[in-house]
Chain A
Amino acid sequence: MKKPLIAIEKCKGCGLCIGACPKKILELSSAFNKQGVNYPVCKDESSCIGCKFCAVICPDCVIEIAETDGEV
């Protein structure tokens, strides 16, 4: 199973990842990080197809794509 790992404290909140996600499973959080911006959260990790689009377009290397084996 693939999922995005989001380093929320590095995020500047531009939201390019949200527009890039083909499954539309990323959304901006209502909480703020230490920089004072809303960061993306994955609302449905089971729908993630691991296409890496969000990670590729992120200008700040905030998102990593991980593959976990077995049930999560």
Chain B
Amino acid sequence: MADKILYTRPRSIRDVKTHYCPGCGHGIVHKLIGECLDEMNCREKTLLVAPVGCGVLAYNYFDVDAIEAPHGRAPAVATGMKRARKDKLVISYQGDGDLLAIGTAETIHAANRGENITVIFINNAIYGMTGGQMAPTTMEGQVTKTTPYGRDVTDVGYPIRACELLNTLMAPYYIERVSVHDVPNILKAKKAIRRALQNQLDGKGYSFIEVLSMCPTNWGVDAQTGADWVRDVMMPYYPLGVFRDKGTEEASRVQ
């Protein structure tokens, strides 16, 4: 009696233990990217740019060629890699501290140049690796190590919505926000990532996917409560959906 395996770890993800905490969304997003690379048969030609943040060791988990960028400079490094090797699939994988705090300039200018790269942005509303300090995406009133009385927007400003920010630029080709807090949204997230990677293969230009993700450890909750918090607190402020899709716009103009 033979067992037929219907679902298993994608080939692009190594069979190693990750350093991520229990219930962390990074593992789910890694798996989604791995599945997309497998399906598109692109593992051999993928170049991954790992960020500084919790995703810093991503190159240990993806079975692809990867490079570690200085903090926040992943889009700049990805730009260089893509311009030098146009035949490769370049993925910049970044967290909220990397992409929206120290790397804001690189992020905006890479998007504004319309570089033909794919940026995957993990938004978990906190600095995970350094132990739970306030991030640019931390919610109003959210308690973190550096905002023990909750984020005071009159003092430190409002959470930044990355998709809306980049959507004011002319050059980006595809911008979408997805979430990985439950299975239907995980499947939608996979579709979005697949689309973003395909855009790059087709030479369309800059694709940006923001993924709302859980950080149960630094939020001080269990994994399921963390997933519910994404749905109840983050999603009303960070609405899901496609913000920019020049592909559909072009298609509708032809008709």
Closest to B216 in A: A14
Selected from B3, B6, B223, the residue in CB contact (under 8 A) with A50 is B6
Complex alpha-carbon distance, A69 and B237, angstroms: 48
Kindly count the residue-residue contacts between A and B in the assembled complex, taking CB atoms under 8 Å apart. 89
How near does chain B come to A21, taking the closest CB pair, in angstroms?
Answer: 10
Tell which of B7-15, B117-125, B169-177 binds the partner: B7-15
Whether B224 sits at the interface, judged by CB under 8 Å, is yes
Interface secondary structure of B, over-half rule: mixed
- In the complex, the answer to whether B183 meets A53 with C-beta atoms within 8 Å is yes
- In the complex, the answer to whether A14 meets B5 with C-beta atoms within 8 Å is no
Complex alpha-carbon distance, A58 and B30, angstroms: 11
Whether A44 sits at the interface, judged by CB under 8 Å, is no
How near does chain B come to A41, taking the closest CB pair, in angstroms?
Answer: 17
Selected from A12, A13, A37, A65, the residue in CB contact (under 8 A) with B7 is A65
Q: Which residues on B sit within 8 Å (CB–CB) of A18?
A: 224
Closest to A59 in B: B27
Complex alpha-carbon distance, A20 and B21, angstroms: 19
- In the complex, the answer to whether A20 meets B183 with C-beta atoms within 8 Å is yes
- In the complex, the answer to whether B5 meets A65 with C-beta atoms within 8 Å is yes
Q: Which residues on B sit within 8 Å (CB–CB) of A64?
A: 5-9
Whether A56 sits at the interface, judged by CB under 8 Å, is yes
Interface flags, A32-63, vs B, CB<8A=1, else 0: 00000100000000000010110111111101
How near does chain B come to A43, taking the closest CB pair, in angstroms?
Answer: 18
- In the complex, the answer to whether B223 meets A61 with C-beta atoms within 8 Å is no
- In the complex, the answer to whether A57 meets B216 with C-beta atoms within 8 Å is no
- In the complex, the answer to whether B4 meets A66 with C-beta atoms within 8 Å is yes
Name which of A19, A63, A68 has the most chain B CB atoms within 10 A of its CB: A19
Q: Which residues on B sit within 8 Å (CB–CB) of A61?
A: 8-9, 13, 15, 27, 31
How near does chain B come to A63, taking the closest CB pair, in angstroms?
Answer: 8
- In the complex, the answer to whether A19 meets B24 with C-beta atoms within 8 Å is no
- In the complex, the answer to whether B5 meets A66 with C-beta atoms within 8 Å is yes
A15-B223, A60-B18, A61-B13 are known contacts. Are A70 and B3 too (CB-CB below 8 A)?
no
How near does chain A come to B229, taking the closest CB pair, in angstroms?
Answer: 13
Additional pairs, 4, CB under 8 Å, beyond known A37-B22, A52-B7, A68-B1: A13-B22, A16-B223, A59-B26, A68-B2
Residues of A within 8 A of B (CB): 2, 5, 10, 12-16, 18-20, 37, 50, 52-53, 55-61, 63-70, 72
Complex A-B, nearest 7 residue pairs according to Cβ-Cβ distance, in ascending order? A59-B27, A14-B23, A14-B22, A14-B223, A12-B22, A61-B9, A65-B7
Residues of B within 8 A of A (CB): 1-9, 13, 15, 17-18, 20-28, 31, 182-183, 186-187, 216, 222-224, 227
A-B contact pairs, 25 of them (CB 8 A): A2-B6, A5-B5, A12-B21, A19-B227, A52-B7, A53-B183, A55-B8, A57-B183, A57-B186, A58-B28, A59-B25, A59-B27, A60-B20, A61-B13, A64-B8, A64-B9, A65-B5, A65-B7, A66-B3, A66-B4, A67-B3, A67-B5, A67-B6, A68-B2, A72-B1
